[in-house]
């Protein structure tokens, strides 16, 4: 009789289809879990371009494996602009590009998506001088040029989820960051129409004062409608993430993380856009920080917002916020974090709120070409 065989084959085909569909969904919506920043390529900012493995380093395969085994699905990779493009407007340094691709391939092998994050704060160092984005020495056309070339260089890497076009821009002048972000989005779209573009807020991407310094970013235009706004959130007294004082002297309490990130999430909801918290973390030197982290992650999850913990990496075993294991032992923060990186409730693929955004203001006179 053929019916059992036919039914079995049909069931098997259906099961395989579900697996493939699940894989596709993960590729499209890597927000389904939280991530981690694997640091190293951005180190040595006073030694530019620097020497590999002396001034800066790339994460190792075993680190990728560790976090993949923990359930992480996104790796943020910070890097310095000056190492990928040693002169403004020049071609990319292919040796550095290939180092980055090696890490990206390691992540792809383990099923991890990657966010490439320019860790330059709206600056570029040239011959010992720090040039400021939007100045005569560093026109915004150079940021657009860089990311357009990156879009070409990495177009074949399908596990790159997003380009985070600038980490923590600050003190650039009125509308400079808005204009730079808009130009960069247009440049990327000349090459790649599907890649997500992450835009961090002005004033160090501070979640607590997002609307004050970054409200104009809601008027950015993307023909692909794939902008994600990236805020950072720390819980110490000056929101720097340095945690230089004791728990008491930092003014901490168990709901401070929720209070700090709420203004950003409220802005996301009000304007019907997508959001991500690309940096957060607590020190390991006092267990009282852990409930703050847990309440913060619970609040993000309840609001369908994900993010990446700051941070880990081969040279940060002694860094107080680090998730990097030491001698095979997990850091204390990992016990809290694993509850959320494996949580099926974190469905940030639905984190576009349906409120109608306000009418857009007229963009300035910069052209799209």
286 vs 233: CA distance, rounded Å = 19
Task: Please identify which residue in the block is written with the tokens 């008491």.
Answer: 248
Tokens of 105: 């391939």
Tell how far CA 141 is from the center of its chain: 23
Query: What is 338-358 written as a DSSP string?
Result: HHHHT-TT--GGG----PPPP
Helix (H) or strand (E) holding 311: strand 306-312
Q: Which of 63, 96, 168, 200 is catalytic?
A: 168
User: Does 168 participate in catalysis according to the annotation?
Assistant: yes
Q: Which of 82, 96, 279, 294 is catalytic?
A: 279
Query: Whose CA is closest to 48, among 88, 90, 95, 80?
Result: 80
Tell me, what DSSP letter sits at residue 116?
A: E
Burial status of residue 313 (CB atoms within 10 A of its CB: 0-12, 13-18, 19 or more): buried
User: Does 190 participate in catalysis according to the annotation?
Assistant: no
92 vs 181: CA distance, rounded Å = 20
Burial status of residue 213 (CB atoms within 10 A of its CB: 0-12, 13-18, 19 or more): middle
The residues annotated with a catalytic role in the active site are 168, 279
């Amino acid at each position: 009789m053929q019916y059992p065989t036919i039914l079995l084959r049909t069931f098997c085909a259906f099961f395989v289809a579900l697996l493939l569909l699940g894989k596709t969904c993960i590729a499209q919506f890597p927000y389904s879990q939280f991530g981690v920043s694997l640091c190293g390529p951005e180190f040595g900012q006073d030694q530019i371009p620097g020497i590999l493995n002396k001034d800066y380093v790339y994460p190792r395969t075993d680190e990728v494996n560790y976090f993949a085994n923990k359930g992480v699905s996104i790796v943020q990779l910070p890097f310095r602009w000056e190492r990928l493009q040693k002169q403004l407007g020049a071609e990319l340094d292919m040796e550095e590009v290939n180092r980055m691709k090696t890490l990206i391939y390691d992540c792809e092998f383990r099923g991890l998506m990657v966010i490439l994050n320019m860790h330059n704060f709206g600056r570029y160092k040239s011959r010992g001088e720090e040039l400021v984005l939007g100045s005569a020495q560093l026109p915004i056309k150079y940021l657009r040029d860089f990311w357009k070339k990156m879009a070409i260089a990495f177009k074949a890497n399908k596990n790159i989820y997003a380009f985070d076009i600038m980490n923590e821009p600050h003190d650039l002048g009125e509308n400079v960051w808005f204009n730079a972000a808009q130009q960069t989005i247009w440049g990327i779209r000349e090459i790649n129409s599907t890649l997500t573009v992450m835009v961090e807020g002005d004033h160090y991407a501070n979640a607590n004062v997002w609307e004050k310094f970054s409200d104009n970013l809601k008027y950015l235009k993307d023909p692909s409608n794939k902008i994600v706004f990236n805020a950072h959130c720390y819980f110490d007294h000056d929101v720097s993430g340095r945690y230089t004082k004791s728990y008491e002297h930092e003014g901490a309490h168990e709901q401070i993380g929720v209070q700090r990130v709420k203004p950003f999430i409220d802005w996301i909801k009000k304007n019907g856009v997508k959001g991500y918290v690309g940096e957060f973390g607590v020190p390991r030197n006092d267990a009282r920080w852990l409930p703050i982290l847990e309440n913060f992650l619970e609040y993000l999850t309840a609001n369908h917002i994900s993010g990446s913990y700051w941070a880990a990496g081969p040279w940060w075993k002694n860094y107080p916020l680090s998730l990097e294991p030491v001698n095979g032992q997990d850091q204390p923060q990992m016990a809290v974090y694993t509850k959320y990186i494996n949580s099926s409730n974190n469905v940030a693929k639905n984190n576009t709120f349906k409120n109608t955004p306000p009418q857009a203001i007229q963009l300035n006179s910069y052209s799209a070409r």
